[in-house]
Structure 1
Amino acid sequence: MKTLIFSLLLATATLNNSQAQDCLGMTFKTGMNFELSHFNAKDKPAGKVVYQVKDVHKEGGSTIMDITAQFEDEKGKQRPPYSIHYTCTGNELIADMSGMMQAMQSGGMKDMEMKLKSNKLVYPGKLSVGQKLSDGQMELEMANNGTTMMTMNMTMANRQVESQAPITTPAGTFDAYKISSDMNMENRVMGMPIRSTMKVVSYRTNNQLFDIKSETYNKNGKLMGYSLLTKAN
């Protein structure tokens, strides 16, 4: 579940798949690949997710990217792939977090009926130190034969750009912005609330789709794990 959290984001006018689309200083095209590798607090590999851009097209004034994600655990065992979508409006990059729901279904909740109520994580076109970002939220409901069994509400709150500094990963060296946020989760199982709070520190650039690095801490400030952008074409 923690790895899935790292991990933890149609067309009215479709262009040719091979045609690149530019948005917010980034160029997107079909076939692009990215790899995010996950590690535990002791720097031991905890799996990776390989992302491939399957389609890029225009929808109104926005650029839509359809992306397939393939999770592989530390032993090389793969889970069924799932899809996520990114929307570039020209002013903002909007991440679709519904892939988390799909991953949960393929990871042992296949018989559950899942309904996504809210799903949005927004990044502005340009980041700057001191900037405050809007909250992100994903809310879903899981039911069995029409009976609600579990609800899950995840909120990324108090998002703020704290600083800017170079970050080096196997994918290269990036001039990245450090963004801190509080991840609040409330799961209700048969009406009983289960709450947890974590702190997420991510490092992003203005010209990369995914985080360069992301760290997750428990409520006491202890590192739980982190992810790195290890490949990007």
Structure 2
Amino acid sequence: MKTLLLSLLLAAITWNSSLAQACMGMNFKSGMSFELSQFNAKDKPIGKINYQVKDVHKEGSSTVMDITAQVEDEKGKQRPPYTIHYTCTGDELIADMSGMMQAMQNGGMKDMEMKLKTNKLVYPGKLSVGQKLSDGQMEVEMNTSGNTMMTMNMIMANRQVESQAPLTTPAGTFNAYKISSDMNMENRVMGMPIRSTMHIVSYRTDNQLFDIKSETYNKSGKLMGYSLLTKTN
């Protein structure tokens, strides 16, 4: 579930080259696919997430991408797919994390009604070393029979671009920016708070939708696991 939360969390039409250029230089069209493979701290594969762009369309002056995510465990067993959305304004790429709600419902919370109260994670069009990024936040309220049973608040804080260097994965070699952040989570179950903190190190490039690599550390600085961009099509 923690890997899924990080991970991130996305009628066929073609996005022509002029529109793609207007959207931060990224070329996307329906049918494109991406594979993120997940590993534990000992480099053992523990699953993968396959993303496929289903639709690219305009909403006002922005471009919106609807992307289907299919999660597989280490044995190849698939969970029900869910959809995530990315909005490109030309200056910012905004990730809609509401697909996490679908994943949680598919994962055993089907009887709960989920209400998304806050939902935003923003990446600027251009990254630079030393740059500070705005906090990301997702706040969810889970109800059953009209009663609030659980709330979840996740904040991605202290987001900063630390360095830039080439990074090679099975999908290729990328000129990647290293971004560090702190993920603070507070779950309240029947009013009782359960808090946790993790440190996230992600690697991004200006012309890719997903992180090239993402590492998750516990509050003591011990690596818990990581993901890699392993395929693009």
Superposition TM-score tier, normalisation by shorter sequence: over 0.9
1:50-129 aligned within 5 A: 50-129=50-129
Find the aligned partners of 1:38 and 1:144 in 2 and give their Cα distance.
33
Tell me the equivalent position of 2:132. Answer: 132
SS at match of 2:149: strand
- Runs (4+) of structure 1 moved beyond 4 Å? none
Partner of 1:18: 14
Give the distance between the partners of 1:36 and 1:16, measured in 2 at CA. 23
Partners of 1:77 and 1:16 in 2: CA distance: 27
CA RMSD of aligned residues (A): 1.1
Q: Percent of pairs identical after alignment? A: 83
Residue 16 of structure 1 and its aligned partner are, at CA, apart by 6.8
Greater Cα offset, 96-105 or 215-224: 96-105
Offset of residue 231 of structure 1: 0.6
Shift of 1:100: 1.1
User: Is residue 199 from structure 1 mapped to residue 195 from structure 2 by the alignment?
Assistant: no
Match of 2:39 in 1: 39
Q: Which amino acid aligns with 1:124?
A: P
CA distance in 2, matches of 1:218, 1:27: 35
Is residue 142 from structure 1 mapped to residue 138 from structure 2 by the alignment?
no
Contact 1:6 1:227 in 2 (8 A): no
Shift in Å at residue 174 of structure 1? 0.2
- Which secondary structure state, in structure 1, belongs to the residue aligned with residue 52 of structure 2? strand
The TM-score with structure 1 as length reference comes to 0.96
- Over residues 182-225 of structure 1, what are the superposed CA-to-partner deviations in whole Å (9 max), with x where a residue is unaligned? 00000000000000000000000000000000000000000000
Secondary structure of residue in 1 paired with 2:101: helix
Instruction: Provide Cα deviations, 1:14-68, integer angstroms capped at 9, x if missing partner.
Output: x971243401010111001000000000001111000000000011110000000
What TM-score does the superposition give when structure 2 sets the normalisation length? Answer: 0.96
Kept after mapping to 1: 8 A contact 2:35/2:48:
yes
Could you tell me which runs of 5 or more consecutive residues in structure 1 were left unpaired when the two chains were aligned.
Answer: 10-14
- Measure the CA separation in 2 of the matches of 1:130 and 1:7: 24
- Look up the SS of the partner of 1:103 in the other structure: helix
**Counterpart contact for 1:2–1:8, Cα < 8 Å:** no
Conserved 8 A contact 1:214-1:227:
yes
SS in 2 for 1:180: strand
Question: Partner amino acid for 1:18?
Answer: T
Classify 1:148/1:45 alpha carbon distance in 2 versus 1 (closer, same or farther; 3 Å). Answer: same
Q: Whole-Å Cα distance in 1 between the matches of residues 131 and 3 of structure 2?
A: 28
* Aligned position for 1:154: 154
* TM-aligned CA deviation for residue 6 of structure 1: 2.7
**Is 1:168 the equivalent of 2:158?**
no
